[in-house]
Amino acid sequence: MNQRVVATINRKALLHNFAVAKTHAHGSKLVAVIKANAYGHGLLPVAETLQDADLFGVTDLAEAEILRAGGTDKDILILQGIIDRNEIARCARQGFQLVIHSPDQLHWLEAALDNISLPKPLVFWLKLDTGMHRLGIAPTDCNTICSKLLAKPWTKNVVLMTHLANASEPQSPLNAMQLQQFHTCINSHDKPPLAASIAASAALLALDCKSNWVRPGLMLYGSSPFVWRDIQRRREAFNLQAVMTLQARLIAIKDIAAGSSVGYNSQFISTTPMRIGIVSIGYADGYPSNTPNGAPVMVSGTRTITVGRVSMDMLAIDLTHIPQALVGDAVTLWGDEISLDEVAAHTGILSYNLTCSISARVAREYI
C-alpha cells in the first residue's frame, strides 16, 4: 500500500452479501439500503455494484439527487421522508418514493401536489409506529391516512412499513407485539391488500416476518446485526463477507522499558519490556478516539492489540511477539482477518458507526 490509510472496498463481497440477503428474502423484493454514503463505503460505487436491487433506500433528497446525477435510473426511496415541505415538488418531479410518517405530511403533500401536473403518479411508504416510538403514525390513523393517499390522482400505490426496535434481540417480546400490531393494521384495511415491509437486516436473518419488501442494510456490508458475544450469530454463521478492509502503515518501531507509559494521559503503562509500533491512523481518519487498550489489529499475518490512547493521526500497537514486523508494513484495523464486529464490540461503538465515521481524507480503493 502506498497511502497512509486506505479503505479497500470489495465489490465481490458486496455482491455475495446481497445474494445472501436475497436467499433469506424468500422471494420478497429487496430495498438495498445505501444511505449515509452506503454506510461509509461510497454511495455511487455501491449503487453501481448493486444493480440487481429492486430499489435503493437513501436518507434524504440530497442523497437521492446524488444518485440520480450519478446516472442511477433505478427507483429511489427516501427513508427519512419529507424534511422540508418545500422539497415535495422536487421529489415528485423526479419520481422519488417517499416515506410518510406523520399526519401533517399528508397535508403538506396535498398542498404541494393537488394543483400541479406530474409525469407519473408516486409510490408512498406509510410508516406505522408499532412500538419503536421513533417515527411513524399511530396504528389508529393508518386506515384514514392510507385511504386518503390512495384516493389521490398523484398516488400510484401505498406500501405499509414498520421498523422493529429489538430485532437484534430475537427473543424480545417486543418483536411479537410489534408484528401483531402491524398485521392487525394490514388486515383491517378495507381496500385491496397493500404491499408491506417489515424486515431490515436483523429481522431478515433471525425472525419469521415475511413481507413483500425487505430492507437489508448492515448485512450487505458484511457485518452481523447481532452482538459479538452471540457466537452463533456472528457474520460467519450467515456466510457474510467483509466488504471494507481498513489498513494503515507501520511508521515507527521502538523498544520501551517496564513501567513506561505510551501516548497521551498514560492510558497504557507497560509491566514488562515491550516492542511498540506506531501506526499511521487516528481519530481524524475515523478510528474511534475512545478505543481502550487491547483492540485487535493484524500485522505481518499475526494478531496483536492496540496500546495507549488513540491520537489524531496515530495509534500504538504491541509488537513484542512479532519480531518480523518492519517499518512500512501494512496494519489491518478490520477486514477479513479482523472482524469489524469484534472491533465494534471492543470499542463499544456499533459496527456501522465505525464505517460511517471513516473520514474523507482516507483513500478508498474498489476492487
Active site residue 35: yes
Q: Are 57 and 33 in contact (CB under 8 A)?
A: yes
Q: DSSP of 125-155, one letter per residue? A: EEEB-SS--SS-B-GGGHHHHHHHHHTSTTE
Burial label for 19, CB within 10 Å (0-12, 13-18, 19+), is exposed
Say which of 12, 191, 254, 264 is annotated catalytic. Answer: 264
How many Å apart are CA 244 and CA 242, to the nearest integer? 6
Residue type, 115: N
Q: Please state the length of the chain.
A: 367
Q: Are 237 and 256 in contact (CB under 8 A)?
A: no
Q: Are 258 and 304 in contact (CB under 8 A)?
A: no
Active site residue 264: yes
Beta strands 244-256; 330-334: pairing state: antiparallel
Say which of 35, 221, 283, 352 is annotated catalytic. Answer: 35
* Residues catalogued as catalytic: 35, 264
